[in-house]
Amino acid sequence: MIDVKDLLFHYGDGIELFRDFSFHVNRGEAWTVIGPSGCGKSTLLLLIAGLNRPNAGKVIVGGQHITRARPSTGLVLQDHGLLPWATIEKNTRLGLEVRKFYGPDGKHSPADLQLDEKEDNRRVNHWLTWLGIDNLKKMYPSQLSRGQRQRAAIARTLVLQPDLLLMDEPFSALDAPIREELQKVMNGFHLESGLTSLTVTHDIEEAVVLGEKILVLHDHCNRDPMIIDNHLSGKTDKRKSPEFIDRCVQLKDILGSRSSVEQED
Amino acid sequence: MKKKATMLSTLAGVVMFFALWQLLALIINRPILPSPLEVVPLFLRNITGELGLHFLASAARVLTAIILATLLAAPLGLALGQMPRLDSVIGPLIAIIYPIPKIIFLPVIYVLMGISDLSKITLIASIIFFQILVVVRDEAAGLKKELILSVKSLGAGRRALFKYVYIPASIPAILTALRVSVGTAVAVLFIAEQSLTSYGLGYYIVIETYQVLLYPEMYTGIMGMGLLGVLLYFAIYSIELKVSKHMFLDGH
């Protein structure tokens, strides 16, 4: 589903975040990306989303070389990105409106786009209900809690039926109980839909809960991806189990050693 | 003003205004301040006649200036807000021109543009232009990067960003800028209409009534101009309430 090949990326300051960096995500896998702040994890997500361009190398998603936002890739950012002047319902419809605006051009919207008002309405209602915010349809984002806003942002993305879901620290700004609740929601969604997803987080527990595979980045130029297979994802009820805690400790050690090694360089 | 003005509060304001006027008229007790009991009936009688034409002339000038200024300033503000490099070049110039009272260019504009309505409209438009330019630019520049990225990820290119983000984001700002600048616009109109025209409330107040000591008639002109300012203000305000609902929410 995602093929990152020999990626080279640096911002204007010339400090390289990625060099010769390659990894592969299979269809249907749920990945998490973890690392200290400044390690390039958000950058990597935007590169895959097509909202950032690599200096060299390629990002291929669904067989398509990514040079701009891909219509079937969904993106949810930490700061929900809802339009403050539109109701939750209108916000949820925004992607559909944008698609209608361009028509099925294959660039801004899928080439096989079907414009069906009834089906669109059904989908909007379905996802709002599924995320438990259908009663807030007529409200504006400022009237909602952070968790509710983030649910709306997720609904807006899922309405477009993406085949890949990218999330950047989606639950970081939320209180612990709401964060855990939404993690559970997303786990359930993954089991149900088998949607390929990649979630960036700085939270070790979240990385373990959401990621079948965990990609660990570090705050120096990333070359060899470190990938941890994690069968504990989705086991939200096992947060307190020794196994789960061991995995968290393991991750913590990796993150700690990786950055301390860098400091010695 | 992010608090809703209700019908009742507006009515209360009007009643208090006329009461104060009547009180002052009684205290001062000179021809220069006639009672509203004399002026209001006269106003109602004259507004359907010559006074109405003066009113329409003034209203047309202000409205044309508002439309002209908005059409020119809004796109330029959007462009500057999105192009920080261009803004860093032009920004300092705008910052200098913005606070200059544009009325001082009245003679220059008269000479350059001639004794036409166009010169008066240009003068008023130049005031509103900078008000709108600055707020729209700041609004477009202040949009969160995350918001733009999210909407882009939904497939929006430049055109859709304009339609769904930049334009709806700047309309409330345009309205607020207009609402706060109509007062100045009407004031400048008053001065600009005192010469080189034969229609307009400014001309009516100063030339046709004040200079020939027709004080009650002069007050009908003043009422007309005051009403013009108030009507424009509340018209813009009511549009604001409709389009910027999210800004007038309870507890906001």
HEC-encoded secondary structure of A130-189: HCCCHHHCCCCHHHCCHHHHHHHHHHHHHCCCCCEEEEECCCCCCCHHHHHHHHHHHHHH
Regarding whether A94 and A14 lie in a shared domain, the answer is: no
C-beta atoms surrounding B236 within 10 Å:
20
Residue A256 forms part of a structural domain:
yes
Q: How far apart are CA A217 and CA A215, in angstroms?
A: 6
> DSSP letters along B12-35, please?
HHHHHHHHHHHHHHHHH-STTS--
pTM, entire model: 0.80
Q: Is the pLDDT of residue A215 over 60?
A: yes
> CB-CB: which of B150, B164, B169 is closest to A97?
B164
Regarding whether A142 and A115 lie in a shared domain, the answer is: yes
Residue B98 forms part of a structural domain:
yes
Note whether B155 contacts A84, CB cutoff 8 Å. no
> CB-CB: which of A79, A94, A153 is closest to B144?
A79
Note whether A94 contacts B155, CB cutoff 8 Å. no
Q: What is the pLDDT of residues A143-192, one digit of tens each?
A: 999 889 999 999 999 999 999 999 999 888 888 888 888 898 888 888 88
Boundaries of domain holding A136: 73-162
Regarding whether A107 and A63 lie in a shared domain, the answer is: no
Residue A231 forms part of a structural domain:
no
Q: Is the pLDDT of residue A262 over 60?
A: no
Contact A3, A59 (CB under 8 A): yes
Q: What percent of chain A has pLDDT over 90?
A: 45
Contact A34, A226 (CB under 8 A): no
DSSP summary character for residue B6: P
Average pLDDT over residues B176-185: 90
Regarding whether A44 and A80 lie in a shared domain, the answer is: no
Average pLDDT over residues B105-115: 89
Strand partners, B154: none
Contact B62, B189 (CB under 8 A): yes
The size of chain B, in residues, is 252
Residue A103 forms part of a structural domain:
yes
Buried b (16+ CB within 10 A) or exposed e, A65-101: ebeebbbebbbbbbbbbbbbbbbbbbbbbbbbbbbeb
Q: What is the pLDDT of residues A139-149, one digit of tens each?
A: 999 999 988 99
Name the domain count of chain A: 2
Boundaries of domain holding B128: 38-247
Note whether A95 contacts B154, CB cutoff 8 Å. yes
Residue B12 forms part of a structural domain:
no
| CB of B149 less than 8 A from some CB of A | yes
- φ/ψ of residue B62, rounded to 5: -65, -45
What letter represents residue B42's amino acid? Answer: L
Note whether A101 contacts B252, CB cutoff 8 Å. no
Q: How far apart are CA B38 and CA B53, in angstroms?
A: 21
Note whether A85 contacts B146, CB cutoff 8 Å. no
Tokens of B18: 């006329």
Q: How far apart are CA A153 and CA A147, in angstroms?
A: 10
Residue B13 forms part of a structural domain:
no
| CB of B30 less than 8 A from some CB of A | no
Residue A193 forms part of a structural domain:
no
DSSP summary character for residue B165: I
Prediction ipTM score: 0.86
Q: How far apart are CA A32 and CA A214, in angstroms?
A: 5
Q: Residue A125: its pLDDT value, please?
A: 94
Provide the CA B68 distance to its chain's centre, in angstroms: 12
The size of chain A, in residues, is 265
Residue A1 forms part of a structural domain:
yes
List, in order, residues 6 or more apart from B97 with CB less than 8 Å away. Answer: B130
Regarding whether A88 and A41 lie in a shared domain, the answer is: no
Furthest-apart CA atoms within chain A: distance in Å: 61
Regarding whether A115 and A63 lie in a shared domain, the answer is: no
CATH number of the CATH domain containing B162 = 1.10.3720.10
Note whether A142 contacts B249, CB cutoff 8 Å. yes
Note whether B168 contacts A86, CB cutoff 8 Å. yes
pLDDT class for A265, splitting at 50, 70, 90? Answer: very low
Regarding whether A51 and A18 lie in a shared domain, the answer is: yes
Q: DSSP H helical segments within A27-173, as ranges?
A: 41-49, 88-102, 117-130, 146-158
* Burial class of B157 by CB neighbour count within 10 A (0 to 12, 13 to 18, 19+): middle
Residue A156 forms part of a structural domain:
yes
Note whether B150 contacts A78, CB cutoff 8 Å. no
Residue B1 forms part of a structural domain:
no
| CB of B245 less than 8 A from some CB of A | yes
Q: What is the pLDDT of residues B33-89, one digit of tens each?
A: 999 999 999 999 999 999 999 999 999 999 999 999 999 999 999 889 888 899 999
Average pLDDT over residues A83-93: 93
Residue A23 forms part of a structural domain:
yes
Q: What is the pLDDT of residues B146-178, one digit of tens each?
A: 899 999 999 898 889 989 999 898 898 899 899
CATH number of the CATH domain containing A247 = 3.40.50.300
Contacts of B246 in chain A (CB under 8 A): 84-86, 140-142
List, in order, residues 6 or more apart from A138 with CB less than 8 Å away. Answer: A87, A88, A89
Residue of B nearest to A86 (CA): B246
Tokens of A12: 């204007």
- The mean pLDDT of chain B is 90
| CB of B174 less than 8 A from some CB of A | no
List, in order, residues 6 or more apart from A119 with CB less than 8 Å away. Answer: none
Average pLDDT over residues A232-242: 75
Q: How far apart are CA B58 and CA A126, in angstroms?
A: 55
Residue A218 forms part of a structural domain:
yes
| CB of B244 less than 8 A from some CB of A | yes
Q: What's the CA angle centered on A34, arms A198 and A74, to 5 degrees?
A: 20
| CB of B168 less than 8 A from some CB of A | yes
> CB-CB: which of A76, A102, A140 is closest to B155?
A102
Average pLDDT over residues A249-265: 64
Contact A26, A202 (CB under 8 A): no
What letter represents residue B13's amino acid? Answer: G
> In 3-state terms, what secondary structure has residue A229?
strand
Distance from the Cα of B242 to chain A's closest Cα (Å) equals 11
Tokens of B213: 């000591």
Contact B94, B133 (CB under 8 A): yes
Q: What is the pLDDT of residues A3-55, one digit of tens each?
A: 999 999 988 888 889 999 999 999 999 999 998 888 888 999 999 999 989 99
Name the domain count of chain B: 1
How, if at all, do strands A2-10 and A56-61 pair? Answer: antiparallel
Q: How far apart are CA A167 and CA B143, in angstroms?
A: 21
Q: What's the CA angle centered on A84, arms A50 and A89, to 5 degrees?
A: 85
| CB of B156 less than 8 A from some CB of A | yes
Q: What percent of chain B has pLDDT over 70?
A: 97
Average pLDDT over residues B203-214: 91
Residue of A nearest to B250 (CA): A143
What letter represents residue A84's amino acid? Answer: P
Regarding whether A92 and A79 lie in a shared domain, the answer is: yes
Q: Residue B143: its pLDDT value, please?
A: 87
* Burial class of A10 by CB neighbour count within 10 A (0 to 12, 13 to 18, 19+): middle
Residue B212 forms part of a structural domain:
yes
Contact B200, B250 (CB under 8 A): no
Residue B11 forms part of a structural domain:
no
Note whether B147 contacts A85, CB cutoff 8 Å. no
